[in-house]
Amino acid sequence: MWKNGTFILEGDGIILLSEGLADRKFFTKLVEHHALPKMDFPWPVEDHEEASEDTKKFHGKSSFVNMVKALAILVKGYPDLGKKIKCVAIGTDAGSDRARSFRCVRSQIENAGNFPIPDEVLEVKASANGFPAVVVMLIPIKGLGGLETLCVEAFIGKRDG
């Protein structure tokens, strides 16, 4: 959570990065509703339409490189904070090509530097250099689509069931 321009870790050491504010809000409610380990969601902090040019760099599927770079600065600049972060989870839509979506996120982690790069979806890749572990999740976990796919499937399932 951001307070007065400073990132305060409030969760259980898990940071979840997502494409947009709607995704962030969904994951926040999901964690609360299912009593999952408390996570921190540092970005995005506002809707894309209302975002300044600087904060627009933290929106969308191609923004993970900027988020990971910013986390690296925080981890290097605030070692106590870095020690508290156990894992960085990156959640993104699977889209129409799961392999391509994974490669896209993987290359952004590589371009950002410092953090370990998972070889597989859902692999928690530990770090050898003191940085937090990283895991990439494609939504839905199996199949194609995105967060909206899960919502439609849940709606249809409830209606038919």
How far apart are alpha carbons 116 and 150 in whole angstroms?
Answer: 29
Q: What is the pLDDT of residue 51?
A: 55
How far apart are alpha carbons 44 and 60 in whole angstroms?
Answer: 9
Q: What is the pLDDT of residue 129?
A: 85
Q: What is the pLDDT of residue 48?
A: 52
Q: What is the pLDDT of residue 23?
A: 85
Boundaries of every domain in the chain: 2-160
Does the domain formed by 2-160 have CATH 1.10.12? no
Length of the chain: 161
Q: What is the pLDDT of residue 44?
A: 60
In DSSP terms, 137 is beta-bridged to 91
Write out the DSSP string of 52-118. -TTGGGGSSGGGHHHHHHHHHHHHHH-HHHHHH--EEEEEEE-BT-HHHHHHHHHHHHHHH-SS---
Note the pLDDT tens digit of each residue in 111-149.
Answer: 999 999 999 999 999 988 889 999 999 988 888 988 888
Q: What is the pLDDT of residue 115?
A: 95
**Tens digit of pLDDT per residue, the chain (161 long)?**
566 666 777 788 899 999 888 888 888 888 888 888 888 888 766 655 665 666 667 767 888 999 999 999 988 988 888 888 999 999 999 999 999 999 999 999 999 999 999 999 999 999 888 899 999 999 888 889 888 887 777 778 755 55
